[in-house]
Amino acid sequence: MNDLIIEWSPNVKVISIGPIAIHWYSLMFLLAFYIGFRIMKKIYIKENKDIALLDPFLVHMVVGTIVGARLGEVFFYNWDYFQNNLLEIFLPFKIDSSGWEFIGFRGLSSHGATVGIIISIILYKIRYKYDSVLWIFDRIVIAVALGGMFVRIGNFFNSEIVGKYTNSDFGVIFLNRSEVLPRHPAQLYEAFGYLLLFILLIFIYNKTKLSQKRGFIFGLFLIILFGIRFIVEYVKESQGGIEEALGILSTGQWLSIPFILIGLSLITISLKNESNG
């Protein structure tokens, strides 16, 4: 086998007990939330925020992420299926004529998760009386960038959200999909990009005065993260969805454009407010 081609056939389950199993994808999600919580705890301590507010913060994050990601998958990518299987939207089971199977929540959308997080954090801010929701967003996105890396690694273990065939002596052969030709490891491209984004945001937060400009880090996060998503979509297999109606770009690219524009607006406003201040 060519040294630049990897044959990939992992066991997607970390552990199985009867019909219940913990998948690598689920484990990556848990790691994302746990490490994100630890990052936010350090930030709260550094900025003298009440640590007691972290527990409800985590609850809002988890609920917002999962609900938003699931609804994004349902309405952006897979409504044709879910309109006839409504019970499966929030149940971790696949139900058909042969019975049911525990599969977890493997159909999740990063764009939906972003919307869910934004809404949940706004509700958190209203309830706990923070002076600015942008203060929260400028900090939580540091953890979200790293969490996105773990989620994409989980996708890689699941052999899902795969790239297009490379038509060369480079790539990954996803044996769990019964394939024999190498594809772009699109999941790992995104994961690496999100890791670099995390490092950049940490640097800006700890080492520059840009972190004092409310909305700047959040805006930069939106531009870079969804810019990465937009670029990687060119080597990613189609996931269906609204691209079938709109054409030209993929669903992921169409959904990334509004977030990039919001990011540009946030950075512009934050820099303008600073210059006027």
Q: What is the dihedral of CA 147, 153, 156, 162, to 10 degrees?
A: 50
pLDDT at 26: 80
**Lowest-pLDDT range of 162-176, 219-233, 247-261:** 247-261
Is the CB of residue 217 less than 8 Å from the CB of residue 201? yes
pLDDT class of 174 with cuts at 50, 70, 90: very high
pLDDT higher than 80, residue 190: yes
More confident residue, 99 or 214: 214
The domain tally of the chain equals 1
- pLDDT digit string, tens, across residues 61-96: 888 888 887 777 776 666 666 666 656 666 655 666
Token pair recorded at residue 4: 């630049």
Average pLDDT score over residue span 180-199: 96
Is the CB of residue 176 less than 8 Å from the CB of residue 9? yes
Q: Give the CA distances from residue 40 to residues 51, 136, 227, in Å, rounded to whole numbers and listed in that order.
A: 10, 10, 25
pTM for the full predicted model? 0.83
pLDDT at 124: 87
Q: What angle do CA 212, 215, 216 make, to 5 degrees?
A: 70
pLDDT at 277: 43
Looking only at the bridges linking them, the beta strands covering 99-102 and 93-96 are antiparallel
Domain, as residue range, for 54: 5-276
pLDDT at 59: 87
Is the CB of residue 207 less than 8 Å from the CB of residue 249? no
**What span, in angstroms and rounded, lies between the C-alpha atoms of 233 and 242?**
14
More confident residue, 109 or 173: 173
